[in-house]
Structure 1
Amino acid sequence: MTTGQSLRIAVDIGGTFTDICILNEKTRELRVVKTPSTPDPIDGVLKGVKDAGIDLADVALFSHGTTVATNALITRRLPPAAMVCTAGFRDVIEIRRANKEDLWDVYKDVARPYIRRRDRLTVPERIDADGNVVTPLDEAAVREVARVLRARKVQAVAVCFINAFVNSSHEQRARQILEEELPGVAVSTSSDVLPEIFEHERFSTTVVNAILRPVVGNYIGRLSDRLKEGGLKSDLLLLHSGGGVMTAATAKDYAGRLAGSGIAAGAIASRHIAMLCGYRNSIGVDMGGTSADVSLVWDGVSRVTKDWHIQFGYPIRFPSIEVLTIGAGGGSLAWIDAAGALHNGPQSAGANPGPCCYGNGNTVPTNTDASVTLGRLGTELAGGEIHLDKQLAVTAVETGVAQPLKLSTNEAAKAILSVANANMADAVRLISISRGYDPRDFALVAFGGAGALHGVALAKELSIPTVIVPPNPGVTSALGCLLVDIRHDLAQSYLVPAAKADTADIEARFAALEAEARDLLARDGVPEDGMTLTRSIDMMYQGQWRSLSVPVPSPIGAIEDAVKAFHALHEREYNFRRDEAPVGLYRLNLVAVGTTPKANLAEHEPGGGLPEPRSRRPVDFDETDAPVDTPVYWRPDLPAGLDVPGPAIIDQLDSTTVVPPGVTAHVDKWLNLILKIQEA
């Protein structure tokens, strides 16, 4: 065991495995541990810590990405909750934007609201759009609502009054009354959670935050207690959707920010690895057992969005690293529709029963079964802990695809993987080409348990010239938790035409946001010299409602400079600009970052030649018409500076990398595999 509080631990919990990264600050050695996830995720975390031989007293930083909030929203396993609204506005979250995910599917309904109508109660109050009180808050009505909610034993309340973004006095008073009358109940107000115009988005985000507070609070409390019992003396930090971490105390108040926690970690790690390798433009593809997450970095900066949701119709307007998720993973099912067309996913075999080769009763072929059939994937996973039955995989591919489509077994397996790759390529095009980015200008970072199996094929589909496979692809998301700072995102609506904007007023508003930010960071234990505050203003052409965020200096400069920057940014994003059109200011944003020490990965000196392969097996590649005898290398045997010519298979504890003929895998000084695709 390592002593002296020199360890940094990152934990990422997935549906199948719990991944743990252990970085020794003194030696810069990085170790990884994979352990099966458990019904209570905390049991899996503690088991992984024990299996790794870690003394929690030696841990200087414990960072955690969690899907607890995401899963709660998806499964609707939520605590009893209520919503208190302005009279006449109880149905805002059900009316939504009156749109549908699939406009032409008349039979597909939007999911029901997270809080049912009978639990959305109203009180008389009204504030107009300028912040003036039209109808005073009826405090007696609020106390009567509290009596009803006490009888219903609610655990969370969302207070959402119309126009509270411009004057929060009624919401804040209602919160005081509810907390007096309902001790122990988590109360969230829209003016605290998201003080912005557009009531549906504000109400929806507040509801999500409210219903997740008991879920997240319970989970964090239990995890913190068990870690402290084990000897942890440092703070528990939790990764949020915006690409930063927050302390447990902050997470309990802003639980909705954890709704994208697990997804953000992989995007962060992907960006860091690409930057290490010298690529400021990168596309990350995190392919696991059920889904593939696609993210984009341009000029070293990850795309961030406020337009996202877990379930369509219920937006979460907290800033989030933009990640596009599709149903393409190792367990995605291959199936044939009534017209005889082959499909791949989004249905998945999941962890149980899993792919057919797991031997747990599934008979529908998956991507994993296709890879096993072609020899690209061996018959052992996770260092021998999981044994695969190749014959079951072959049988499933034959009966499920080959026979109905009159193909050979290997042709059918290749077809399954081709459809999966095409689905992922479409996702990459959505996040790149449709946004004005050319994939040929990027490197592809392929990670997750299945990413390295598909990396080269996907890159060829998109004409991407370089593929990067991190040292530990299957636990790259956990590594992302070691690469982030404490971060808070603050915003305030500011609806003013640029021509009438008062820089003194804007400066005063930014100063107020900065004071709030410093207070938040101080409560997180960040010293003054470790705080970085970055300003931006959301702007748009007047008459539009979609905006772009323009960085501005501190103190604020001339508004004309910001308008010029907006025109240039609009041209970059949408390929046109209208310099003669009036521009409006929409929102003031402040990103507050508290710097934390980062993982500093060890560099390795080049040395050693190509080792003897651990084994050989016949592998059928897309580039070959029949299986070819292929060496199988064990990745820890490959030293820095080495070139591994294809065809080759590179196995390791958490993933398998396919190096087809004509492709060379170079091991760089951080032990990343850099695969150059010659024909691109």
Structure 2
Amino acid sequence: MANLRVAVDVGGTFTDICIFDESTQSMRVTKVPSTPDNPMDAVLNGVKRANIDLSDVELFSHGTTVATNALITRNFPKAAMVTTKGFRDVIEIRDGTKDDLWDAYSDVSGPYIRRRDRFEVTERIDYAGNIVSPLDEEEARKLGRLLKKRGVDTVAICFINSYANVAHEVRMREILTEELPGASISTSAEILPEIFEHNRFNTTVANAVLGPLVSGYVEKLDKSLTNDGYAGELLLLHSGGGSMTSEMVKRFPVRLAASGIAAGAIAAQHVAEQCGFDNAVGLDMGGTSTDISLVADGELRVTNDWEVEYGHPIVFPSIEVLTIGAGGGSLAHIDIAGSLRNGPQSAGADPGPACYRRGGAEPTNTDANLWMGRLGTDLADGEMTLDRASSKAAIESKVAGPLGLDIDAAADSIIKVANANMADAVRLVSIRRGLDPRDFALIAFGGAGALHGADVAKELNIPTIVVPPSPGVTSALGCLLVDIQHDLSQMFTGSAEDADAEAVEQHFKALELEGRDRLRHEKVAEADGVFERGISMRYQGQWRSLQVKMGTGPHALREAVQLFHEEHEKQYAFRQDETPVEIYQLHLKALGKTPKPSFKPSPVSSKDPGEPLEVREVYFEGKWHSTPVYQRENLPSGAAFIGPAILNQIDATTVIPPGSSAVIDEWFNIRITLSTESGEPALATASNDSTTSAN
């Protein structure tokens, strides 16, 4: 009987595999180097390395960077865009904004589809959905033949006001399907039926350019897993915090952008809930980048306003994650002004840090941590041996020499710059929104998160750090904690006070019908389908809207208006109860419940961590300290430490600095409490009994 649940998360440097055995309620993990040229190789290598018999696997979930990397590198197939006459340049004009308002020389990168590949046809629908000019089908067929001659593989159909009437886009798609057999075709009315044309057009264009790439990757992986014995559906994590089957990914490949990033945020939320923290910051530091997520009042922040590149919005609900170029492989370098910088450039998986001895000559965070004794010379349970002499040579030649520092101070400076960068990122998602980091716990994970977590927390005066049992593969764990999820929306503008409640209900029922149809295609049983309603509203005269939960029943709309006032006050520090409220959009989250691992707490057994594996000299705050090094897997729940201490494991290394205390809790998380110079009590506290299971 299939009893394994497997999750694979592909990162920039390593690919992480997490295997949960239902029969024994146990979890094991492994890591393999990522293969940037063909990410699927790393996935299959990981399955092989973990000795997984795919016929024993009940669920296989995958977080992938294929879509994100394709948008970054712009390695697209031949694509074209078809639009209404006069609207060819919508995705180039954009909304007129700039990432840096004061930099006159900074330009937004060009559209995903060049102007020469954007074509116009005669058709027009007005704002109410009335046909003003019918689609010129002869012109459409002539264009289809031209696109075939050009060898176009994928097309985005983006007609003005198609959100109000889909007829012309549907007919254009039928014509192109006849003229371009085998081509991938995306229509804006299906991808994003919303009013703002730049957002709708660009999301559709991104979906189109990703279609052949993502579909090809998913199809090959699905086939390979099936041939090796896997009998279930391949589930892929999407940016909204849910998963999709491979068939639905072919229709909505753009949803896989930020796939792996979302997994880490979901896992951080799980760990925070498990430990009883309503407020937590997720610090997912890998080999190439660090992803910062925020859990406030038990909920992850979700946004509809995001992009992989500035100026090219992807308007699907996405877990809000801030990514910066700070990872174990981030390069330390001296800028033109003679200042020390860290990242965003990275040594990546190949050649990697200097200590890997694969040709890298630039010092990285890994090299600095190795020199300072925070990392041992054996990595990934002895699979890789790090060369301390190579790290020293790189730091001396690139940092210590140019800055006139000794090797210890240079290595320490590299780490401090990296920590400052990450602390600044946390401030952006917390203080800038009026949230005090001291009210939060820091969930530190990723291959390097536990190395830096305590230092980042100290910089922010965050009193408590939680390091999950397998920090290096915690993002992969997030893939096992989600349901199949589809996010649907429909425009519905008008006064909330005058709205016909029955009309609103009928629109929601239409969305639920589509949601059921999608879940049926995903092979979700009727009993496992759950539908959550939402409604976007705004004060009369506002441009931007705010989404709140929507219930059912005769008073649902009135209750949603009250909730809107409350949420508006939380978000913007004011409310206007006397101002009329407008409905802007209806939302539906269609969930297909999937089996998830259930974790059981372990009774606290001993406070004694036992004898260390070794005592190593480690550099902290300008001094070398004799520091005990423990093997984390051997530590019992309840084991307590006074820093300094180092905890090694196969996928990560945890640093407990001098003066701090730490304990292994009943979930085998490491909880680190920082000492405070002021003597003030810690502000971040668990909201409930930490022995209560999140499940």
Q: TM-score, normalised by structure 1?
A: 0.97
**SS of 2:141's equivalent?**
helix
Counterpart contact for 2:550–2:557, Cα < 8 Å: no
With 388-397 and 531-540 compared, the bigger mean Cα shift is at 388-397
Give the aligned residue type for 1:34.
K
**SS of 2:623's equivalent?**
coil
Q: Does 1:21 align with 2:18?
A: yes
Q: Counterparts of 1:635 and 1:95 in 2: how far apart (Å)?
A: 55
Counterpart contact for 2:14–2:287, Cα < 8 Å: no
1:210 Cα offset (Å): 1.2
2:419 counterpart residue number: 421
Give the aligned residue type for 1:656.
T
1:607 Cα offset (Å): 2.4
Q: Does 1:633 align with 2:630?
A: yes
Superposed CA RMSD in Å reads 1.4
1:563 Cα offset (Å): 2.2
Q: Does 1:487 align with 2:499?
A: no
With 202-211 and 339-348 compared, the bigger mean Cα shift is at 339-348
1:51 counterpart residue number: 49
1:171 counterpart residue number: 169
> Which segments of 5 or more consecutive residues in structure 1 lack a partner in the other structure?
none
Q: Counterparts of 1:56 and 1:527 in 2: how far apart (Å)?
A: 23
1:537 counterpart residue number: 535
Counterpart contact for 1:332–1:367, Cα < 8 Å: yes
Counterpart contact for 1:8–1:23, Cα < 8 Å: yes
Q: Counterparts of 2:406 and 2:661 in 1: how far apart (Å)?
A: 29
1:582-621 maps to which residues of 2 (within 5 A)?
Answer: 582-608=580-606, 609-621=608-620
Give the aligned residue type for 1:611.
G
**SS of 1:383's equivalent?**
coil
With 667-676 and 390-399 compared, the bigger mean Cα shift is at 390-399
Give the aligned residue type for 1:574.
Y
Identify the match of residue 153 of structure 1 among 121, 146, 151.
151
Q: Counterparts of 2:513 and 2:169 in 1: how far apart (Å)?
A: 22
1:107 Cα offset (Å): 2.6
Give the aligned residue type for 1:501.
A
Aligned-pair identity in percent equals 58
1:499 Cα offset (Å): 3.2
Q: Counterparts of 1:155 and 1:340 in 2: how far apart (Å)?
A: 48
Q: Counterparts of 1:423 and 1:15 in 2: how far apart (Å)?
A: 19
Counterpart contact for 2:34–2:349, Cα < 8 Å: no
1:347 Cα offset (Å): 1.5
Give the aligned residue type for 2:496.
A
**CA shift digits 1:451-491 (9 cap, x unpaired):** 00110111111111111111111111111110000101000
1:281 counterpart residue number: 279
Counterpart contact for 1:535–1:589, Cα < 8 Å: yes
2:328 counterpart residue number: 330
Q: Counterparts of 1:114 and 1:558 in 2: how far apart (Å)?
A: 42
Counterpart contact for 1:335–1:342, Cα < 8 Å: yes
Q: Counterparts of 2:382 and 2:142 in 1: how far apart (Å)?
A: 62
Q: Counterparts of 1:458 and 1:540 in 2: how far apart (Å)?
A: 38
1:335 Cα offset (Å): 2.0
**SS of 2:144's equivalent?**
helix
Counterpart contact for 1:538–1:547, Cα < 8 Å: yes
1:458 counterpart residue number: 456
**SS of 2:45's equivalent?**
helix
With 485-494 and 414-423 compared, the bigger mean Cα shift is at 414-423
1:363 counterpart residue number: 361
1:574 Cα offset (Å): 1.5
**CA shift digits 1:220-252 (9 cap, x unpaired):** 111111111101111111100000011111111
Q: 1:454 to 1:487 in 2, by over 3 A?
A: same
1:557 Cα offset (Å): 2.3
**SS of 1:64's equivalent?**
strand
Counterpart contact for 1:295–1:324, Cα < 8 Å: yes
Give the aligned residue type for 1:259.
A
Give the aligned residue type for 2:611.
E
**SS of 1:316's equivalent?**
coil
1:556 Cα offset (Å): 5.6
With 360-369 and 658-667 compared, the bigger mean Cα shift is at 360-369
Counterpart contact for 1:435–1:574, Cα < 8 Å: no
> Which segments of 5 or more consecutive residues in structure 2 lack a partner in the other structure?
677-681, 683-695
Q: Does 1:677 align with 2:657?
A: no
Counterpart contact for 1:306–1:319, Cα < 8 Å: yes
Q: How many residues align?
A: 675
Q: TM-score, normalised by structure 2?
A: 0.95
Q: Counterparts of 1:370 and 1:72 in 2: how far apart (Å)?
A: 31
1:558 Cα offset (Å): 5.3
1:216 counterpart residue number: 214
Give the aligned residue type for 1:11.
V
Q: Counterparts of 2:52 and 2:364 in 1: how far apart (Å)?
A: 36
2:692 counterpart residue number: none
Identify the match of residue 11 of structure 1 among 8, 23, 26.
8
Q: Counterparts of 1:226 and 1:484 in 2: how far apart (Å)?
A: 24
Q: Counterparts of 1:543 and 1:345 in 2: how far apart (Å)?
A: 43
**CA shift digits 1:601-629 (9 cap, x unpaired):** 3432332432211112100113xx31011
**SS of 2:341's equivalent?**
strand
Counterpart contact for 2:14–2:349, Cα < 8 Å: no
1:497 Cα offset (Å): 2.6
1:260 Cα offset (Å): 1.3
Identify the match of residue 187 of structure 2 among 175, 186, 189.
189
Counterpart contact for 1:21–1:32, Cα < 8 Å: yes
Identify the match of residue 400 of structure 1 among 391, 398, 413.
398
Identify the match of residue 665 of structure 1 among 662, 666, 688.
662
**SS of 1:410's equivalent?**
helix
Counterpart contact for 2:550–2:556, Cα < 8 Å: no
**CA shift digits 1:79-117 (9 cap, x unpaired):** 111111001111111111122222222333221211111
Identify the match of residue 298 of structure 1 among 287, 296, 299.
296
Give the aligned residue type for 1:652.
Q
Q: Does 1:477 align with 2:475?
A: yes
Q: Counterparts of 2:495 and 2:333 in 1: how far apart (Å)?
A: 54
Counterpart contact for 1:449–1:654, Cα < 8 Å: yes
Q: Counterparts of 2:324 and 2:13 in 1: how far apart (Å)?
A: 18
Counterpart contact for 2:271–2:468, Cα < 8 Å: yes
Counterpart contact for 1:29–1:602, Cα < 8 Å: no
1:555 Cα offset (Å): 3.1
Counterpart contact for 1:535–1:590, Cα < 8 Å: yes
1:32 counterpart residue number: 29
Q: Counterparts of 1:618 and 1:507 in 2: how far apart (Å)?
A: 67
1:21 Cα offset (Å): 0.6
Q: Counterparts of 2:546 and 2:83 in 1: how far apart (Å)?
A: 31
1:555 counterpart residue number: 553
Counterpart contact for 2:33–2:349, Cα < 8 Å: no
With 115-124 and 43-52 compared, the bigger mean Cα shift is at 43-52
Q: 1:15 to 1:40 in 2, by over 3 A?
A: same
1:528 Cα offset (Å): 2.0
Give the aligned residue type for 2:619.
D
1:642 counterpart residue number: 639
1:544 Cα offset (Å): 2.3
Q: Counterparts of 2:633 and 2:556 in 1: how far apart (Å)?
A: 56
Give the aligned residue type for 2:408.
N
Give the aligned residue type for 1:281.
N
**SS of 1:572's equivalent?**
helix
Give the aligned residue type for 2:416.
S
1:62 Cα offset (Å): 0.6
Counterpart contact for 1:507–1:556, Cα < 8 Å: no
Q: Counterparts of 1:378 and 1:257 in 2: how far apart (Å)?
A: 39
Counterpart contact for 1:487–1:591, Cα < 8 Å: yes
